[in-house]
Amino acid sequence: MVAKVALHKVLEKIQSRTLSEKEAHRFFTAKPKPGMPFDFDIGINTDTVDVENAPSAQALAGPMLRDAGIVLDFNRIAATAKPASFKRKLPLIAEGDSWFKLPEAEPVVPSTMIDFLQPNFATMNLAHWGDTLAHMVLKGQFWPFLKSSDVLLFSAGGNDVLGGGELWRFLELFDVDHAKASDAPYYLNPDFFANLNVVIGTYDALIREVKLRTPHVIVLGHGYDYAIPQDNGPWLGGPMARQGLDPLHRPALCNAIVKVMIDHFNNRLKALQGAHEKNFRFVDLRGTIKDTEWWDELHPREAAARKLSAKLVKAVQGLPASGDTHESPFEAHFEKMVA
């Protein structure tokens, strides 16, 4: 039997930047958090880590793994090719949710779009699973980095559009007279559209602030793909079943309802591009992920993430050539984060 590692040794590895990806998977655990779409409950793996003298260990797990993720990203950047081989002069800044960043923990999670993007584009990944759009904007940790970049990759709004784990609030009760997939629009109630207006308003305000504070920066945002509700799924299937929309017995209808919701969000984002032609680009990811390529209700498997990343790469390549911000390099900002 392999000896357990003391919790303080794990912390030392994070602080000294010597933690490996394999060790992160061994030391931490992650499981879906039913109350929050795109989020996970993070724990210390007590099979590999000694927490006997650390009564608050599990409470520290989330912050520790978040810091570990920053360290691992830093190490990946340091290990990549020289800047001259990257396809843009300036680094990209990624902010977002679990479609950009999944926890480095057991069970081993799939790579994300950003993981596949990083070998070709120096990318600072500030994303964190479970973050809502409002939280990202309020926290604003990306602002210092935009002084050294001209592209902000943005993955946000999914948690908000799905009601933060209470999707049922946006759905009408099942009606036998509206049982066909073509009846899906019937089930979106006024609360869904009111909430969508708030989400798009927050998104719009962010783009306007980017235009004001860092006019050289272009935001690239997306609206996800057509997720598939699962029987008793923590984020989609369970809340839908509460309204009598059981994905086990009515999969076509439930899938169609989610599709309509995703389409509404994407169409509103596409309209934002028309309103902010210089500072916002909408990346349409719909129709990319096959039914068999979902890792869970909301996250793609690696094969799908690679295809999604290819669309993101194409969007980045279509941007104007990088300029020069004349600000301190993004590595300097990164150093402050992990100091």
Q: Using one digit for the tens of pLDDT, what is the confidence trace for 305-321? A: 999 999 999 999 999 88
Using DSSP bridges, classify how beta strands 151-155 and 92-96 pair: parallel, antiparallel or unpaired: parallel
pLDDT band at 256 (very low <50, low <70, confident <90, very high): very high
Phi first, then psi, for residue 281 (nearest 5°) are -125, 130
Contacts of 317-320 spanning 24+ positions with Cβ under 8 A: 317/87, 318/281, 319/151, 319/218, 319/220, 319/281, 320/218
**Average pLDDT of the residues in 205-220:** 96
Of 55, 33, 57, 32, the C-alpha closest to 43 is 57
Q: Using one digit for the tens of pLDDT, what is the confidence trace for 175-184? A: 999 999 999 9
61-75, 80-94, 124-138, 287-301 — which is least confidently predicted? Answer: 80-94
Which SS3 state, helix, strand or coil, does residue 30 take? strand
This prediction has a pTM of 0.88
Sorted by where each starts, the structural domains of the chain and their CATH numbers stand as 84-338 (3.40.50.1110)
pLDDT band at 255 (very low <50, low <70, confident <90, very high): very high
Cβ atoms of 169 and 78 closer than 8 Å:
no
- Quote the pLDDT of residue 332: 62
